[in-house]
Structure 1
Amino acid sequence: MIFTTLGRYFLTRYAVTTFWFLVGIFSLVFIIDFSEQASRLSNLPHYSITAALLISAFRIPTILQQTVPFVALFSAMAALISLNRRYELVVTRAAGISVWQFLRPLVLGAFLFGVLAVLALNPLAAWGAKKEEAMLAALGSSRTSDAGSIPWLRQIYQGTDTIIGARSVQDGGTTLINVTVIHFDPQGSIILRQDAASAKLEDGYWLLNDVAETRSGQLPRRLQTAQLRTNLKPEFVQERLAKADSIQFFDLPRKIEVARSFGFSTNGMETQFHSLLSLPLLLVAMTLIAACVSLKFSRFNQSRSVILGGILSGFVLYVVTVLVKAFGSSGIVPPFVAAWLPVVVAMALGSTILLNQEDG
């Protein structure tokens, strides 16, 4: 069925519908995000319209990545409703083709869409996030991509205890922006505070730029550069500060192994890896849900309550997937189970409902 003329026609209809949904969401998100960025960054010293447009463009892949399950759901619903209203599904059924046969092209389209999202959209989103951080730093912004998560590092080197904090992270953690360094004596009292515009991890030291040093009982002094000796390695810093959702799919296995070698928890990265692996099947589950509410024939008016039920079912599946993913990242549920269980259950329920509707 998939490679027949009818199968190719159904697959083409699904692909075209998905494409236009993506174009519509891209345009809407870009306009809204540009308006937000322009109002938020307009007071920065190096602000320009071009910079705001570029920042919004870099953010779009990350936002689109979050909407992929809903695009798959709405595309399948729109394609099936359109085929129903044109009597094409009626003729297909009259020709003796079962629902499982004419759904195969749509299921294949959803699966390929998921593969494309993992192999192309995810790396593009990771690249765009790095570019966004770099542009924000160039504009003089201290805003981080995750305002609730300010990175902190602690190092003990040659008898000195130091805490390093930053407003944002670049280059995988080896470059910090808007840095605060606090030095402690052996008794735990603060002896020195350094505030720097940036810090870059070099071989054996942090290079601080545009530094303001404050000591107890002394006037602050400014330095163009300063060095902070360290035994931290770039690989350690990158694993300590890296966020699972900012790592592209192809780098996750290596990052997981490196994190394990340093003794870090890998639950977040393992959950992200399995979530990306299961994304194509999640889109297949969304397609089955769409089929459950879109196959009933109606020439002019599709039942609004049924369509709304399909949308709510897809939304509930997405929320459950995100919630269980959070459990996996925190270690409450094994990462493999957290990523795959909602997908398997949704596919089983969708198939069961379709079997009941079509075969009794």
Structure 2
Amino acid sequence: MSFRATRILSLGRIERYVLIQQARALTVALAVIASLIMLIDFVEISRGVGSDVDLSALRILGLMGMKSPAVILQLMPFVFLFGTLAAYVGLNRRSELIAMRAAGLSAWRFVLPAAGTALIFGVLTITVLGPVAAWGDGLFQRERTRLSSAPVEVDQPKAVWIREGDSQRQMIIRAARQNSATAQLQDVTVFIYTVGEGGALSFVERIDAASAALTSGSWRLTDAVGAQTGQRAVSYARLDLPSSLARDEAFARFARPQSTSLWALPTQIRRVEQAGFSSTAYRLRLHQLLATPLMFAAMSILAAAFSLRLMRLGDLARMSIAAVILGFAFFFVNQTFAAFGTAEVIPPFLAAWLPPVLTGLAAFTLLFYTEDG
């Protein structure tokens, strides 16, 4: 019993040692990739936003700090690919893997803990780091728009389009001007539709009004003229139309899927669908975030499987290059499936989950072949 306990403790120490080596390599890979991304973003912001307005280097650094985290997290699968590959290649070159295998330690005993660590970090990424990065990306988009656009007067002529409704009725509002401070629209035209089977819209009524103000639970139209299909026009001094919008969100645009965190996506999807728009991009983003831990773990197993070949058998450099090429190929497949999902060629669920599942299956297949022949 004492010998078995000692053996288990020894294996635990080996696993911890491998994890420490992987963590160091992941830190280096993250530092290199993050530095390259921040350098590229600094140059891009300088040439883009900096060409419209005069920005100091400190202000550009601030904008870069808002934008870069979202891009870094998007490329995190490569951090696990390169970091894990570097860690296991280093262990192989120092013949430490040979000693572990000679001691009877299966490759699964130190590969799976590394994959489990990647899985845990993936959960941490989508629940904690991802929302922070999404908030920074949204802040950058708003700040870039504010800096790149000329100052807009409150009542400057500019068409405003608002759409809202539910599963029974849809309403499209067009206004020539807006005053967001008082939630009031000028020169308003309202198109009202009913929603039939299969989501088909049927035109019901058009209402033209001098102004529209958003009050609690309704749009209040003044000096309005409404005309339903096949009927004469009717004038109203004041007309209330039910609304589900709040004052602070009536004129706000829907945030980009990339600027929406995991926790906010279900609410955003519901709001987009209630407004009558397609929520495909947001559903795809939700499933991509949920599949992130699996992608991190699959990349770690893939890199480890390619680097387990013994040095005496040669071809380690060729295998490492093949791992990098295969990792880029799976990333390209992931982007391709995302494009198909956005275009609604395939369901968002399939577009988000199929690439990491394929990556994981390929990694396990290669690991089985390397370990068990």
TM-score after normalising by structure 2: 0.70
Cα distance in structure 2, aligned partners of 1:15 and 1:282 = 18
Aligned to 1:90: 98
Contact map agreement 2:174 2:190 (CA 8 A) in 1: no
1:254 equivalent to 2:267? Answer yes
Q: Aligned AA for 1:162?
A: R
What SS does the aligned partner of 2:174 have? strand
Correspondence for 1:57 among 58, 65, 76: 65
Give how far 1:291 is off: 2.1
Flag the 1:299–1:99 CA change in 2: closer, same or farther, 3 A: same
Aligned ranges for residues 204-215 of structure 1 at < 5 Å? Answer: none
Aligned to 2:357: 344
What SS does the aligned partner of 1:162 have? strand
Contact map agreement 1:325 1:338 (CA 8 A) in 2: yes
Cα distance in structure 1, aligned partners of 2:290 and 2:172 = 44
Q: Aligned AA for 1:311?
A: V
- Farther-moved stretch of structure 1 (81-90 vs 131-140): 131-140
Q: Aligned AA for 1:255?
A: Q
Aligned to 1:123: 131
Cα-to-partner distance string for 1:9-55 (whole Å, 9 max, x where unaligned): 11121112112211222222222321232233334445222211100
Cα distance in structure 1, aligned partners of 2:110 and 2:52 = 55
Any unmatched runs of 5+ in structure 2?
Answer: 1-7, 151-158, 165-170, 192-213, 220-240
- Farther-moved stretch of structure 1 (90-99 vs 341-350): 341-350
Aligned to 1:162: 174
Correspondence for 2:28 among 11, 17, 20: 20
Contact map agreement 1:155 1:230 (CA 8 A) in 2: no
1:268 equivalent to 2:281? Answer yes
Q: Aligned AA for 2:245?
A: K
Flag the 1:338–1:8 CA change in 2: closer, same or farther, 3 A: same
Cα distance in structure 1, aligned partners of 2:303 and 2:72 = 20
Aligned to 2:347: 334
Aligned to 2:19: 11
Aligned to 2:225: none
Cα-to-partner distance string for 1:293-342 (whole Å, 9 max, x where unaligned): 21112279763332221111111111111211222233222222221122
Any unmatched runs of 5+ in structure 1?
Answer: 143-150, 166-173, 176-180, 187-200, 206-228
Cα distance in structure 1, aligned partners of 2:57 and 2:215 = 35
Aligned to 1:171: none
Flag the 1:113–1:307 CA change in 2: closer, same or farther, 3 A: same
Give how far 1:276 is off: 0.7
1:39 equivalent to 2:47? Answer yes
Cα distance in structure 1, aligned partners of 2:120 and 2:90 = 21
Cα distance in structure 1, aligned partners of 2:329 and 2:109 = 27
TM-score after normalising by structure 1: 0.72
Cα distance in structure 1, aligned partners of 2:324 and 2:69 = 23
Aligned to 1:100: 108
Aligned to 1:305: 318
Give how far 1:73 is off: 0.6
Aligned to 1:322: 335
**How large is the RMSD of aligned CA atoms in angstroms?**
3.9
Cα distance in structure 2, aligned partners of 1:160 and 1:315 = 44
What SS does the aligned partner of 2:302 have? helix
1:29 equivalent to 2:48? Answer no
Contact map agreement 1:154 1:164 (CA 8 A) in 2: no
What SS does the aligned partner of 1:42 have? helix
Flag the 1:32–1:337 CA change in 2: closer, same or farther, 3 A: closer
Cα distance in structure 2, aligned partners of 1:293 and 1:183 = 64
What SS does the aligned partner of 1:103 have? helix
Cα distance in structure 2, aligned partners of 1:37 and 1:254 = 31
Aligned to 1:48: 56
Q: Aligned AA for 1:83?
A: L
Q: Aligned AA for 2:108?
A: W
Give how far 1:77 is off: 0.4
Give how far 1:70 is off: 0.7
Q: Aligned AA for 1:84?
A: N
Correspondence for 2:78 among 70, 75, 81: 70
Aligned to 2:258: 245
Cα distance in structure 1, aligned partners of 2:215 and 2:315 = 63
Contact map agreement 1:155 1:163 (CA 8 A) in 2: no
Cα distance in structure 2, aligned partners of 1:73 and 1:90 = 22
Contact map agreement 2:49 2:148 (CA 8 A) in 1: no
Cα-to-partner distance string for 1:212-250 (whole Å, 9 max, x where unaligned): xxxxxxxxxxxxxxxxx9968258758963322211111
What SS does the aligned partner of 1:292 have? helix
Cα distance in structure 2, aligned partners of 1:297 and 1:251 = 47
Contact map agreement 1:21 1:71 (CA 8 A) in 2: yes
Equivalent pairs counted in the alignment come to 306
Flag the 1:323–1:305 CA change in 2: closer, same or farther, 3 A: same
